[in-house]
Amino acid sequence: MMEEVMQRIVMVVEFDGSVFHGWQRQNNAVTVQAMLEDVLLRIEGRAVTTFAAGRTDTGVHAEALPVHCDVSAARWNRSHLAYLHGCNHLLPDSIRIVGVRAVADDFHARFDCRGRAYRYQIWNRNTASAIQQWRHWWMPRGLDVTLMQQAGTFCLGRQDFSALRAAGCQAPHATRTVTRLDIKQDGHCITVDVAADGFLYHMVRNLVGNLVAAGLGKQTPDEFKLLLQGCDRSKGAATAPAHGLYFVDAQYETFTSQALIGSC
């Protein structure tokens, strides 16, 4: 019997993290990976293993998380739409495949990724939102965005981010290069957009926790600079909650996951 020819593809996944226990498959928990792999099993008629550019915790959302897997080359060549509309027809409304393309056989969504970008959203109003409660971190006290921006500048460039590293982080070192950090306010919503060559476990949420401390006047920008230089996580502010965080982009040599949205 001839071995089936396979085609490696990358799927761009959007999901509402409020109803999942993160990306990675777990026993006795509903996860995005498990839902997607169960749908691919129905389409392919065999078990399919998926690999994402990064793992997301319970409650974290994604706009454009790239995921690679190997599928039937014959089915792919016959109809790419089986992996776009076909998957979406079988997936719950909280998960959508928003782009798909063929890639080289040695492509890896995680190890070939050259940069990742996240967005964190804060709802800065004295009352919580009835319709945005799982989309933002509600902060009832007024935040000084200028102070947050001043503190954020100290994150740019290549440095040791041990002060923003969670205790359970398994990375061999804490040195990362932050290439962009933008903090903007639009009405009651404050967004923190950050891009880097890689992130440590809870790095963005710990960063936001400290930026909010600066915005509340609990920590000056210079004190945040000293915190980073001291590399001591125990002296930092509390970790921001997961539900305000979004995985928004991944950069590869020839494309980004955001650029693949709408492709097939």
3-state SS, the chain, equals: CCCCCEEEEEEEEEECHHHCCCCCCCCCCCCHHHHHHHHHHHHHCCCCCCEECCCCCCCCEEEEEEEEEEEEHHHHHHCHHHHCHHHHHHCCCCEEEEEEEECCCCCCCCCCCCEEEEEEEEECCCCCCCCCCCCCEECCCCCCHHHHHHHHHHHCEEEECHHHCCCCCCCCCCEEEEEEEEEEEECCEEEEEEEECCCCCCHHHHHHHHHHHHHCCCCCHHHHHHHHHHCCHHHCCCCCCHHHEEEEEEECCCCECHHHCCCC
Catalytic residues: 57
User: In angstroms, rounded to a whole number, what is the distance separating the alpha carbons of residues 195 and 140?
Assistant: 27
Phi, psi of 198 (to 5 degrees): 180, 160
Q: Quote the crossing angle between the two packed helices 221-230 and 203-215, to the nearest 10°.
A: 150
